[in-house]
Amino acid sequence: MFIRLLLLAAVSAVAGLGVPARPAAALETSASAINSLTLEEVLNRTLQGNPQLAAAAEELRAAAAEQRLADRLPNPELSITLENIAGDGSYEGSDAAEWTVELSQPLELGGKRGLRREFAGIQRDLADSEQLRSRADVLANARRRYIEALAAQVRLALAKEQAELAGKSLLAAEERIKTGKSPAIDHMRLQGEFTLAKLAVEQAERTVKTANLKLAMSWHAGPPDFDQVAGELDRLPGLPAFNEIEAALHQAPEAISLRLATALQTVELAQAKAACIPDPALTIGWRQFEESSENALIFGISLPLPLFNQGQDGVAAAGSRLGSVRAREQAVHRELLAQLHDAWQALADARAEAAALDEQVVPGAAEGYAAAEFGYQAGKFGLIELLDAQRTLFETRQRQVAAQTAAHLAATELQRLLGRGPAAAANQSSSL
């Protein structure tokens, strides 16, 4: 098909005007160009400099510290008491004072320590899953910005080609007007088209700068240190079978986080039940009698009396929260499945549209423009037919770019939902 378009361009060149087949320079930017970034470089910079990933890493370290804390025993309590001082009679002064030193150690019953460790371990796994999900979101956002920057470059190339073509058409019309083959109004009409084409180029240039700035913000807040991104927008991502990605959703970070949240609430319910069992405290101490200069050991045990709060309300609350988390897990999983289907369908539709445009619509529009341009030069067609064919050609090519962009964005959304990390991103970089 590419050879066919080149032949069409050659035919139009013989007639006096070059019809651009495809914006090849924009669709395939050399990776060795100066100040040009590949997708792999974009993702590496994002992993190294994105603050959201740094925040997720800190949360993971905090969860690890809390896991270590959960494994520790309760601290003992030291009590020092001085009795029988500053009284009356024989207790005046400190002659009858009694010193008491006690050390108390709480004893956890009902498996509280084991449940606490289990709870902290699940929290650490949850933080790890959240870090993976955060990484997937950040990388997906960087990929989206990269694709938008690449698409902006392609649209700029198309705008420049359209402006160049409009300028050539204007020069050709001036020659025909001089020879009396075209009316003078053709010059005014083509001059307007040329002005609009130059305006479109200026707008496309600003769009490219904005897209590059947004892309650079994925890893720092300063101005971009690159001029363009390298890639091929017309190399579309593949379309996996839906049952394959549906099965992969089970291992997605968000799905894992939902299961961990349910497990966490299950342990919390067990903790609420264990809290109904009172924890005794053993006490050992030493007492000195100042009056007789004698000493004695003290042994004791204390036990909370569950008279007013037996923990049944805490168990009920934890049970209700567990039911809520289970229902939410089912609801969110269904929503994730719906989003996955939408992204897969968007990828399938964009690929089908891009293929139809690439194989039929754009070549047909190119042939139509070549015929209209040749007919205009030969005096068989008027200016309206020429302009209509030109607009049709560039509108179909703009739609082609939009379909290719939509395909890459849909594939990126699939990767985000499935929590694909740098390895999957590198695989996608080969398609760009």
CB atoms within 10 A of CB 67: 19
Taking CA atoms, 168 is separated from 160, 193, 398, in Å, by 12, 11, 21
Distance CA 172, CA 3 (A): 27
pLDDT given at position 285: 92
The structure tokens listed for 334 are 């269904």
For the segment 320-336, what is each residue's pLDDT rounded down to a tens digit?
Answer: 999 999 999 999 999 99
Phi-psi region of 149 (alpha: psi -120 to 50; beta: other; left: phi over 0): alpha
Hey, which residues does 81 pair with through a beta bridge? 100
Distance CA 417, CA 255 (A): 10
Q: Do 198 and 163 contact (CB within 8 A), yes or no?
A: yes
- CA-to-CA separations, 186 to 142, 166, 176, 194, in angstroms, rounded: 47, 12, 10, 12
Place of tokens 């204007």: 170
In contact, 226 and 205? CB cutoff 8 Å: no
Q: Which amino acid is at 308?
A: F
Mean pLDDT across 101-106? 93
Range 21-29 average pLDDT: 38
Q: What is the pLDDT of residue 116?
A: 94
3-state secondary structure of 80: strand
Question: What pLDDT is stored for residue 1 in this prediction?
Answer: 39
Query: In sequence order, what are the residues at sequence separation of 6 or more whose Cβ sits closer than 8 angstroms to the Cβ of residue 406?
Result: 346, 349, 350, 353
Predicted confidence band of residue 223 (pLDDT cuts 50, 70, 90): confident
Q: What is the pLDDT of residue 90?
A: 64
Q: Which two tokens stand for residue 399?
A: 């739609």
Secondary structure class of 102 (helix, strand, coil): strand
181: tokens are 């083959």
Per residue in 239-288, pLDDT tens? 999 999 988 998 999 999 999 999 999 999 999 999 999 999 999 999 88
pLDDT score recorded for residue 25: 36
Average pLDDT of span 176-183: 68
Burial of 303 (0-12, 13-18, 19+ CB in 10 A): exposed
Looking at residue 374, what is its pLDDT? 79
Judge residue 336's burial from the number of C-beta atoms within 10 Å of its C-beta, 0-12 exposed, 13-18 middle, 19 or more buried: middle
User: How far, in Å, CA of 432 to CA of 424, rounded?
Assistant: 13
pLDDT band at 312 (very low <50, low <70, confident <90, very high): very high
Round to whole Å and give the CA distance between 278 and 111.
Answer: 12
Quote the Cα angle for 26-27-29, to 5°.
Answer: 65
Which pLDDT does position 295 carry in this prediction? 87
- Distance, in Å, from the CA atom of 113 to the CA atom of 274, rounded to the nearest integer, reads 10
Query: For the segment 107-164, what is each residue's pLDDT rounded down to a tens digit?
Result: 999 999 999 999 999 999 999 999 999 999 999 999 999 999 999 999 999 999 988 8
Which amino acid, residue 130? E
H or E element, residue 375: helix 362-378
Residues 6+ apart with CB under 8 A from 358: 1, 234, 400
| Nearest alpha-carbon partner for 236 in 131, 359, 88, 363 | 359
Q: Helix, strand, or coil here: 72? A: coil
Mean pLDDT of 158-171: 85
Q: What is the pLDDT of residues 228-246, one digit of tens each?
A: 999 999 999 999 999 999 8
The predicted model gives 50-67 an average pLDDT of: 90
Averaged confidence pLDDT in the chain:
84
* DSSP state string for 246-277: HHHGGGSHHHHHHHHHHHHHHHHHHHHHHTTS
In angstroms and rounded to an integer, the radius of gyration of the C-alpha atoms of the chain is: 37
- Mean local confidence (pLDDT), 66-80: 92
Among residues 387, 385, 390, 377, the alpha carbon closest in space to that of 16 is found at 377
Nearby residues of 51 by Cβ (< 8 Å), 6 or more positions away: none
pLDDT-based confidence at residue 186 (cuts at 50, 70, 90)? confident
On whether the CB atoms of residues 354 and 409 are closer than 8 A, the answer is no
Q: What is the pLDDT of residue 236?
A: 94
- 238 by Cβ neighbours in 10 Å (0-12 / 13-18 / 19+) ranks as exposed
Q: How far apart are CA 183 and CA 177, in angstroms?
A: 6
Amino acid at 297: L
341 phi and psi angles, rounded to 5 deg: -65, -40
Please state at what angle helix 362-378 crosses helix 383-418, rounded to 10 degrees.
Answer: 160
